[in-house]
Every structure is written in structure tokens, then in C-alpha cells.
């Protein structure tokens, strides 16, 4: 009996989440895809929790079981926000598949890099999208035409750099061999000023 109610309420949460998400992306402004999807997940959760509280005498759950259901719904909404709209919005892998389909099912291997530079960046407005996300996240500010790292952004960059250097795979398959090239991708970057720094 409890299991059936839990499944039914979980299905109600999924319907609420998908409905709110569809309305949001169709009719309302979206600043950052991830944050928007998380707002929809939280809104669906609030509506369902309000309904559960209102109907608590009719439901077979004790307060601990109700709390566990709320946690499961929250995690499900979070997983949806990360795994569906955010992945599809950001995924280079899906772009490759879609571009292969657009170009008749195949692209020469030696032209893939040029395709990214000439088509991927402008088609997906990648610079605008990523800068908007960073500004909205508070990791950068744009002042006088200069993109500047905030203290929050500097902390995240340090954590990312540490994780990349110490906790990413050292034998990763890239193209035709295993390499540790991506644990220090800046190793071969030009040193010193190269002309596009601020000030």
C-alpha cells in the first residue's frame, strides 16, 4: 500500500516537473539552462510537498517516510536538471552526432577541428552562452570590455585545477592512444603576455 502511494506521488512529481519545465522553456525567460531547470524542479517539489502536507491524514506515511520521499523527489529533479536539458545544451558529443546527421552521416576526420572552429562556436553562440553562465554564477564580471575573475571564480578555478592535476585519469584514451595530456592542458600554452590580456 505504501509503495503504491509512493510510486503514484512520484509520478505526480514527474508530471509536475515536466509540465513546469515545458511551460518555463516555452513561455518564460531563461538566463541559465541549469538554474532554470533546478527552479522548475524545486517549484514542482514545493507544490507536491504542499499537497502532501494538506493530505497527510489520508496518506499512509509517517513523517520520516515523507521526508525520505521529499529527498528522493528532490534528487530526481536535480538529476533531471543536470542529465537532460543541461547535458543536451552543453554536450559537444551530441553536437557531433547532430552535425554528422546534418552533413549526410559522415565528416572527414581531418576536418572535424575546422568544423568546431567555423561552425560549432558560432552556431551554438558558445562564447555568449558560457560568458552569460559565468556572469550569472558570479564567477566573472565584465567591466570596460574586460572579463575579470571574481574571488568566487578564483576559488572554483583553484579547485578545478587541483582536481584536474591530481584526480583525473593519467592514462586516458584520446584518439589513437592513452595519454595524461589533459591533466595539464596549459603545459604547452604560450608563456607571458600574448596580446589579449586586460590592462
Mapped onto helix, strand or coil, the DSSP state of residue 149 is: strand
Residues of the chain falling short of pLDDT 50: none
pLDDT of residue 81: 97
pLDDT of residue 192: 79
**Of the candidates 86, 92, 94, the residue with the CA atom closest to the CA atom of residue 41:** 86
Question: What residues have CB less than 8 Å from 105, skipping those under 6 apart?
Answer: none
Burial per residue of 63-101, b for 16 or more beta-carbon CB atoms within 10 angstroms, e otherwise: eeebeebeeebbebbeebbeeebbeebbeeeebeeebee
Q: pLDDT digit string (tens) for 123-144?
A: 999 999 999 999 999 999 999 9
Question: What residues have CB less than 8 Å from 163, skipping those under 6 apart?
Answer: none
pTM equals 0.81
pLDDT of residue 94: 93
pLDDT of residue 31: 93
pLDDT of residue 188: 85
The DSSP annotation for 79-91 comes to: HHHIIIIIHHHH-
pLDDT of residue 191: 82
pLDDT of residue 173: 95
Amino acid at each position: 500500500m505504501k509503495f503504491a502511494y509512493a510510486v503514484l506521488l512520484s509520478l505526480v512529481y514527474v508530471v509536475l516537473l515536466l509540465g513546469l519545465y515545458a511551460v518555463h522553456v516555452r513561455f518564460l525567460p531563461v538566463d541559465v539552462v541549469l538554474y532554470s531547470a533546478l527552479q522548475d524542479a524545486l517549484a514542482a517539489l514545493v507544490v507536491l510537498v504542499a499537497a502532501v502536507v494538506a493530505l497527510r491524514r489520508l496518506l499512509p506515511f509517517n513523517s520520516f517516510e515523507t521526508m525520505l520521499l521529499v529527498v528522493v523527489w528532490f534528487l530526481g529533479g536535480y538529476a533531471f536538471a543536470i542529465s537532460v536539458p543541461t547535458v543536451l545544451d552543453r554536450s559537444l558529443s551530441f553536437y557531433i552526432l547532430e552535425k554528422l546527421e546534418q552533413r549526410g552521416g559522415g565528416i572527414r576526420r581531418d576536418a572535424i577541428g575546422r568544423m568546431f572552429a567555423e561552425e560549432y562556436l558560432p552556431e551554438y553562440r558558445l562564447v555568449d552562452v558560457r560568458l552569460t553562465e559565468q556572469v550569472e554564477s558570479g564567477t566573472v564580471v565584465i567591466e570596460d570590455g574586460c572579463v575579470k575573475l571574481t574571488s568566487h571564480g578564483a576559488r572554483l578555478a583553484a579547485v578545478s585545477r587541483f582536481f584536474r592535476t591530481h584526480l583525473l585519469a593519467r592514462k586516458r584514451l584520446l584518439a589513437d592512444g592513452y595519454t595524461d595530456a589533459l591533466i595539464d592542458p596549459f603545459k604547452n600554452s604560450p608563456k607571458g603576455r600574448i596580446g589579449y590580456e586586460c590592462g
